Amino acid sequence: MRYMKFTLYTPHCRFEPMECDSVRFNIADGADGSFSGSYGIRSGHAKALFSLSEGKISVSLGGNEVFCAECSGGFAKVENNEVTAIVDSVIQ
């Protein structure tokens, strides 16, 4: 199985990159940034850019959650089996 790398940034810190096979977060697709639903990323996902709404980011490896945090809104980029999320704040 191919794995991905997940990295989370805030204005104050960079979390240590994590190996994972799935990432799930809340997306905002309304013009006002409102919550639209939960979205999951797996290894091999096409390039994408997402607007994140406030909510949980969950990172899993082998079916086990390895990281979970409540995050403010922000953005996530998916490219070459790397998921990078940039948010204003994180509560673990």
Q: Where exactly are the structural domains of the chain?
A: 4-91
pTM: 0.89
- Whether the CB-CB separation of 18 and 4 falls below 8 Å is answered with no
| pLDDT tens-digit map of 63-85 | 999 999 999 989 999 999 999 99
Longest dimension (CA), the chain: 38
Quickly name the fold that domain 4-91 has.
Answer: ATP Synthase; domain 1 (2.60.15)
Average pLDDT over residues 6-26: 96
Q: What's CA 64's distance to the chain center, in Å?
A: 16
The DSSP secondary-structure symbol of 14 reads: B
